[in-house]
């Protein structure tokens, strides 16, 4: 979990430094009747760009370029270590965070059943991630297992199940929940300093982890996830989780869902 935790702590550092915690994780997948489809994971921090542009507009170019001078960053293969010098936020606005996520694509090259692997690295809009096509559910789970093991040191055997009219997203590989745990550990845990956790919750209150599932060949009849919203004439199911939202925490919000298709 070291790499995953380092990734999330870097997000927190960037959020605190930039005075905004506007972070959105988007997991989007398309499932066809034959089991094939596409998968895409994106880290969207575009709202942070607006704040930096505002700082520049107020004559704070040097401040915007060097935000994070007293923070820490991810270097190498995910170790969370202090930088030797302040990162140039204009050349690398994510302080190396984007490279950590986009590099996931390299681990999927040559994996059986996985094709069209693409790195998503939009430095202009602060969007980073990866996408790929899969031949069947087995190939998709194989790819996610490799990603979780090689990049995040997390053991995940199975994430999706899809057969006939039954689709299931298991609770494994819940990035939002893992982020929450990492932040709490960094903030001192349940029994740690209350002020640190309050600050984390304040800056990341609007953080979201959205799952979007498309079924072009079938329509969704029902989903057992209370947060599930059906759209696109029944062909799309969206679940939007906010890990630090108190109301959702009370409801024990989860990515897990069982879907019945028509």
Predicted confidence at residue 151, as pLDDT, reads 63
Tell me the whole-structure pTM to 2 decimals. Answer: 0.75
Whether 242 has a pLDDT exceeding 90, the answer reads: no
Token code pair at residue 262: 């028509």
The proportion of the chain whose per-residue pLDDT surpasses 90, expressed as a percent, equals 34
pLDDT-derived band of residue 64, with 50, 70 and 90 as boundaries? very low
The proportion of the chain whose per-residue pLDDT surpasses 70, expressed as a percent, equals 56
Q: Domain total for the chain?
A: 1
Per-residue CA distances from 250 to 147, 202, 203 (Å): 30, 17, 20
Q: Which domain holds residue 24?
A: 2-261
Least confident range of 16-25, 208-217, 241-250 = 16-25
Highest-scoring range by mean pLDDT, 105-109, 197-201, 246-250, 254-258 = 254-258
Predicted confidence at residue 141, as pLDDT, reads 95
Q: Which residue has the higher pLDDT, 89 or 252?
A: 252
pLDDT of 72-97, one tens digit each? 333 334 443 444 444 444 444 455 55
Whether 166 has a pLDDT exceeding 90, the answer reads: yes
Interior/surface letters 177-211, b for 16+ CB within 10 angstroms, e for the rest: bbbbbbbbebbeeeeeeeeebeebbebbeebbbbb
Distance CA 98, CA 20 (A): 17
Q: Which residue has the higher pLDDT, 245 or 87?
A: 245
Whether 201 has a pLDDT exceeding 70, the answer reads: no
pLDDT of 105-147, one tens digit each? 788 988 999 999 998 888 788 888 899 999 999 999 999 998 8
């Amino acid at each position: 979990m070291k790499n995953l935790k380092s990734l999330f702590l870097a997000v927190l550092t960037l959020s605190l430094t930039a005075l905004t915690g506007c972070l959105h994780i988007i997991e989007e997948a398309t499932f066809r009747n034959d089991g094939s489809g596409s998968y895409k994971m994106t880290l969207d921090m575009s709202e942070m760009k607006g704040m930096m542009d505002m700082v520049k507009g107020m004559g704070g170019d040097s401040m915007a370029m060097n935000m994070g001078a007293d923070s820490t960053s991810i270097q190498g293969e995910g170790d969370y270590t202090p930088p030797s010098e302040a990162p140039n936020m204009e050349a690398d606005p994510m302080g190396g965070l984007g490279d950590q996520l986009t590099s996931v694509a390299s681990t999927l090259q040559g994996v059986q059943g996985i094709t069209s692997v693409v790195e998503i690295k939009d430095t202009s809009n602060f969007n980073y991630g990866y996408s790929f096509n899969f031949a069947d559910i087995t190939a998709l789970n194989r790819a996610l297992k490799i990603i979780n093991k090689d990049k995040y040191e997390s053991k995940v055997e199975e994430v999706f199940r899809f057969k006939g009219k039954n689709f299931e997203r298991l609770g494994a590989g819940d990035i939002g929940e893992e982020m929450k745990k990492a932040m709490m550990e960094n903030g001192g845990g349940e029994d740690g300093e209350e002020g640190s956790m309050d600050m984390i919750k304040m800056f990341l209150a609007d953080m979201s982890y959205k799952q979007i599932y498309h079924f072009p060949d079938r329509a969704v009849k029902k989903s057992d996830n209370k947060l599930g919203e059906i759209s696109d004439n029944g062909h799309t199911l969206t679940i939007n989780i906010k890990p630090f939202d108190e109301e959702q925490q009370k409801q024990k919000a989860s990515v897990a869902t069982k879907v019945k298709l028509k």
